Chains A and B, each alone.
Chain A
Amino acid sequence: QITLKESGPTLVKPTQTLTLTCTFSGFSLSTSGVGVGWIRQPPGRALEWLALISWNDDKRYSPSLKSRLTITKDTSKNQVVLTMTNMAPVDTATYYCAHRPTDDAFDFWGQGTLVTVSS
C-alpha cells in the first residue's frame, strides 16, 4: 500500500523560503525508474507540476519556477523535500506530492497541504 503525506508550514510571509517534506511508504526511491513529484493547485484553479526527482537523483523542474525550486531526497528516511524561495501571495496553493512509477503517470497522491502566503 503506497501512501504519501506532505508536511510543512501552513502560513509563510512574502519573501520567505518554503520547505515542504513528503514522507512516503510502500515503495523505495532507490527502485529503478521510480520518482516523486510535486504538484500545486491554487484555490479554485488547475494543477501545476513543479518538480520531479527520480531514483537515480535525476531532477527536473518547471522552467518558470526553476530558479526558485530545489528538490532533494533522503532514501533512508523515505522523504522528498521541496524548497521554494522568495514566496509571494500568488504561490498560495495546495501542494501535493505524488508517486510516479517507472515511465508512467502519477498514480498515488498525498492529501495535499495548503500553504498561504501572507504578511
Chain B
Amino acid sequence: DSGVTQTPKHLITATGQRVTLRCSPRSGDLSVYWYQQSLDQGLQFLIQYYNGEERAKGNILERFSAQQFPDLHSELNLSSLELGDSALYFCASSNPDRESNTIYFGEGSWLTVV
C-alpha cells in the first residue's frame, strides 16, 4: 500500500457528462501529480500541484481541470466527456524533503465513458 488513496476505483458515465476524481496523498506529502494511462497513449502527465499551487502542466485538455485543497487532497474534474477519455487516471504524491523525490502512485480510478 503506497498510502495514496484514490476514489472512486471504477466509474462508468455517458458522453457529455462531468466527473470528479479524488486523491488523498500520503501523509506529509505536499506534491500531487495526475497521470492518464490509456492503451494507446501510455502514461501521460497531466498536472502537478505543490502545497495548493499549480507547479507543472502537461498534456491536460481544456475540458479537464484540477485543484489541490488546503488539506492537500486533490480533485481532477473531467467535463464534456468523450469516448476517448476512457482511461485509468492515476494520482501520485511526493515530498521533496523526504525520500529524494520519489513519487508514489495510488491504485487509480478507472473511467469508462459510454
Question: Are A and B a genuine interacting pair, yes or no?
Answer: no
Q: Taking beta carbons and an 8 Å cutoff, which residues of A are in contact with B?
A: none
Interfacial residues, chain B to chain A (CB-CB below 8 A): none
